[in-house]
Amino acid sequence: MDFKKIIILLKKGCEIDSATIDKIFHMSKGAQIKVLAFDETRKEEFDGFDLVITIGGDGTFVKAGNLIEDAFIIGINSKPDKSEGALTELTIDEIDRLKNIFDGDFDVALRQRAKVRLNGKVLDEHALNEVYVGAISQFHSSRYVIKFRGHEEEHRSSGVIVSTGTGSPAWFYSAGGEVFHHGEEKLSFVVREPYFGKRVFVPKIIRGDIKKGEKLVIESKRDSGGIIAINDSVYDFNDGDAAEIELSDKPLKVIKLR
């Protein structure tokens, strides 16, 4: 596979010298290369590119992973002494190994992502980790109607986390969810700290798996202060707003070296 158009996405505050760019250029056999800074990145910047190289940590990788449509991606850990880099494939000292990729010597792992439709419009991000729906202030109650597999009920809780397999070992797991593989074709959701009353609020839809072809629907009942959050993108989600969350039909194509 030939990669002709490449984006290098840099962690905020990270710099890359011209010699490194030249090295990647020569290894890529003369591909077009564009360098982007983390805080300048917009979805349209990735249009038409077929490979994204992130240099930073997991946050940089996730930023790109949310915005990419069809490109392949590989992560390089810029500070392996300070960052685990669980999602990165190489360290900055191993950058010469990119030659293997340009020679076609690699495998591809698929990481499933979530798609969110807000009031009928699909949001730009394919969430690589998780989607949070609830109140922006964690000490305020999230108020919403939740609909799943033909059932619906009104909740008071600390919000809903809908996770991919990639995000499942983190916040989702801490909230009571179970870890699952990043390639499994499903999402999983958990309601955080649901309120159980005597008659009106007796929630039963508090966790579940959203399989391919299914969706979770949440309708806000908050007057203000409600949000949908995907990584560092936040959308208002208040009374009258409705969200549909389902498995994206475009998993992230992650390059793995052999």
Catalytic residues: 58
DSSP the chain: ----EEEEEEPTT----HHHHHHHHHHTTS-EEEEEEGGG--GGGGTT-SEEEEEESHHHHHHHHHH-SS-EEEEEES-TTT---TT-SEEGGGGGGHHHHHTT-EEEEEE--EEEEETTEEEEEEESSEEEEEESSTTSPEEEEEEETTEEEEEEES-EEEE-TTTIIIIIHHTT-----TTSSEEEEEESS----SSS-----SEEEEETT--EEEEE--SS-EEEEETTEEEE--TT-EEEEEE-SS-EEEEEE-
